[in-house]
Each structure stands twice: as structure tokens, then as C-alpha cells.
Amino acid sequence: MIQDVLKQLGIEATNKGTSTGSDWFGSGAEISSSSPVDAKHIAKVATTTREDYDKVVETAQKAFKDWRLVPAPQRGEIVRQFGNKLRELKEPLGKLVSYEMGKSLQEGYGEVQEMIDICDFAVGLSRQLYGSTIHSERPGHRMYDQYHPLGIVGIISAFNFPVAVWSWNTALAWVCGDVCIWKPSEKVPLTGVACQKIIADILKENDMPEGISCLINGDYKVGEFMTTDKRIPLISATGSTRMGKIVASTVAERLGKTLLELGGNNAIIVTPDADIKMTVIGAVFGAVGTAGQRCTSTRRLIIHESIYDKVKDAIVAAYGQLKIGNPLDENNHVGPLIDTDAVAMYQDALKRVVEEGGNIIVEGGVLEGEGYESGCYVKPAIAEAENHFDIVQHETFAPVLYLMKYSGDVENAIELQNGVAQGLSSAIMTNNLREAERFLSHAGSDCGIANVNIGTSGAEIGGAFGGEKETGGGRESGSDAWKIYMRRQTNTINYTTELPLAQGIKFDI
């Protein structure tokens, strides 16, 4: 099956994984792509050497000089064609995402749909890169601000969304006039090769210079090529908080810019006025979708004591209906974790929550036997815990859900929700208008995303995506997130024969 998918995407098993557009090359050691679905080897991809990398950057720099002069609506036309090609290839690319990463087939298709959606958004944006007109205090002067392309945007993406996050960055950066260099996770290199092949063909068909879209492959050392490189003014990095702190300090040392999308520790507050059925749907999908490997996955369920047992029983009953197995089988709800290291982390979390005084109410464990040969399939688990537990305070990238009680009014629940280092996504389930507005107020959720009567995951591209505190503070995708990919410039034009100074200063000669 997978060989047919690769063929549909125009990928041959001998392709090298480093590209500066239409050409493929790579002279570094090869990395192997294996599927967590069945542990089968898919292909090998060549990694990027320092010499390769410098060639990529030089090609990108050359391309930027031409690309920045292409009118923004024409740049949007290239992105439109990219989105249309993704529509044609949604099925094979979605299958590759599902098989290489391990998420359900529907989520694989959904991730490609996110790519299509952000292309549509970016096409419209290409005609709306607005600045502002500002009234000058000096007569006969016009003042305004405008936005210019930055140059090269370096993108470091994580394994859990192997294509969508890259597209959030590139689609906007391209219409802004930037060129991009992408280092995908070494755990999912083939999805990167597939995406690069698609856009490279489109650029070639439109006689656009290679280097507008570039791909490099390898581990964190290849990422360091970009983070330490003064030629790259912006680094957009998605991953763990630990990784983000390293990236932030490295780029800041050279006074570069960063866009960070880091860890989450997301909670749903369930008040006495919640719709229990909606709560169960939102909480279960949020906790087990992508096998708990989303930065927006639901980690904590904060339930009012008056309905705690009712909600707990409903959630436990729903977990009993989950089907775990091959994610390409649409009857299954939960696929595998990315690798056995992730499985070990999951097992350690369940051990630690018990050691800290928690109570496991839905047993976890690693699945064995036919269909589970990869050793990456685990049972989604639920534990009763306290918010202050050390293991609860840290993100576990696996399907582990912590249940906890709150008493009194919603302010107590909000305090618990905010009482972690991360600040990505949050939600409240309530039909009480006052509780909902309190949750969304200045004194409410401290997260970048705050939802009412939906779960913590499933963000739309129209809104800016990102979080606060140890989530990094970055914003991607919709709203005015495009501004991070540009430099702001203030312009003043004097159309008189006089030269008055600002603040009424006199300088006569």
C-alpha cells in the first residue's frame, strides 16, 4: 500500500531528502523512516551536511531577491496552485501522514485539509497586507507604516503534525514575500519530502526560482545550523518546552526573531451547568485523539464536586467503547504512539501518578499480539490526581487523562486550570453565561486559546494559534499572525517646501 502512495506522490525510494526546489540532493548519512503502525521500514532519506546546508541557504538568498519583487497577489497565485494540487493529492498525502506518524486516517486527511484551508486563507491575505495611515503633527506631511518581507524563514516542525504546521508557516511567509527552509522531524522525513516535491513542481511549472521552498533533513544538529545562522532572521519552532528554550536563547544571542509553539497542559473545566454529553465527546476526543500526541490534547479534567461522579462514570464508560489499532482502519479510534521511547514515557507517567498518591481508574498498558507488533500501541488511561502533583504539572505526550475535583464557584476551577507552567489551550463546559464570560475575562483563562462548550483541540486556521507562558508566546495561522513574517517600516513624506521639525523644535541656519 505505502509504495503505491509514494508513487502517487511522485516519490521514488531512491530520492534524497535534501532539496533546494526542483533538485534533490543530499550527501549526509541516511535516516530510516519506519511506521509505528506495523514497525515496517518505509524508506531511507539522506541527511543534510554542513556543505549541503550552505548551498541551501545560498540558493534561498538568491531566490529571495527575485521573490520579494513579485507582486503579493501573484505570490498568492502560486499558493493557490499549491492548495489545488493538495486537493488532488489529499488522499495519498493523508495516507502517508497517517502511516508514517501513526494518527488515524481521518486525522491524516484532516491535516491535509488544514493545509488546503491555510492556502485559501493566504491567497486572500495576499491582497490584504495592510499598513496604516497616521496623521502627522507637521503640516504638509504624510506618515504611514508598511510591511516588508524578512528574508529567509527557518521552520522546525514536530512529528505530531508533520505537514500542517509547516503549511501554516510557509503559506503565509510566501505571500509575505519570504522564502522558507524547513527541517521536519527526523521521525517523519518522508512527509517532508512529499510536500517539497509538490511545491517544487509548482514552482518549476511557473518558472519561479528554486529556493523559494527548501528542505533539510536530520536531527537537532541540522536544526542548529539554522538557529545559529545570522542569515535567517526568523526561526519558527514547534516542539517541547525544553527544545524551545534552547532555540529561544540561541536565536536571541544573535538578536534574531523566534516564533515558538511549545508544550501544552490543557484543561477542561466542567461546571454544574455543563451538558454532560457534550463534555464527554469533547473530553474523550481531546484526550485520545492522535493518541494524546497533540500540543492541544486534553490532559486535565477539572470537575465540580457536585457532578464529579456522574461525569467520571460517563467518561469511563466512553473509554470502554474505544477501539485501538491500525489507524488506517477507520473503525479504530486510537492509533499507536510515535515510537517505543514515547511508550516508555507513558508508562513512567502512570507509575509516577500512583507514587504521588493518584488513583488509576482506567488501566493503561502496552498492547501485544496480532496487529500490535510495533510495540507502540497503548491503552488510553485515566487517573484521579491533584493539580499540584509533579507529573500533572508536566506534559506527558500520551493518552493519559487526569481527573480532579473543584468546589465552590468557577473562580476556584480557573485557578486550578491556570496553575501550571504551560498556557496553550483551555475550555469550559457550561450553559451559565456568567461562568462562560468569567472564564473569558481578563481574570479568566491565561491561555492563548480559550473555548466555551468545545474541547481543547481542533483549532481552526482563521484564528491565531498559540499560547502563553512556557508555550512560548508565538502565534501562527490566522488573524494577524502574518505580521511575524514581515518587518515593519514607518515612512514620513514631506510634500512642502519647508522642513518643520517634530515636537516644535526650532533649528534655524
Q: Model pTM?
A: 0.96
Task: Mention every residue, 6+ apart, whose C-beta is less than 8 A from residue 313.
Answer: none
- Look at residue 19 in the predicted model and tell me its pLDDT: 55
Burial class (CB in 10 A: 0-12, 13-18, 19+), 290: buried
Nearest Cα neighbor of 243 from 156, 351, 368, 124 is 156
Catalytic residue among 107, 111, 114, 261: 261
Complete domains list, the chain, with CATH: 2-262+472-489 (3.40.605.10), 266-461 (3.40.309.10)
- Look at residue 397 in the predicted model and tell me its pLDDT: 98
Indicate left, alpha or beta for 226 from its phi (over 0: left) and psi (-120 to 50: alpha): alpha
- Look at residue 23 in the predicted model and tell me its pLDDT: 52
CB 283 within 8 A of CB 428: no
Show the low-confidence residues of the chain (pLDDT under 70). Answer: 13-25
Percentage of the chain exceeding pLDDT 70 = 97
Reduced to 3 states (helix: H, G, I; strand: E, B; else coil), residue 472 is coil
- Look at residue 18 in the predicted model and tell me its pLDDT: 54
Burial class (CB in 10 A: 0-12, 13-18, 19+), 490: exposed
Considering only the C-alpha atoms of the chain, give the largest distance between any 2 of them, rounded to a whole number of Å.
91
Known active-site residue 261: yes
Phi, psi torsion values for 384, nearest 5 degrees: -80, 130
Burial class (CB in 10 A: 0-12, 13-18, 19+), 192: buried
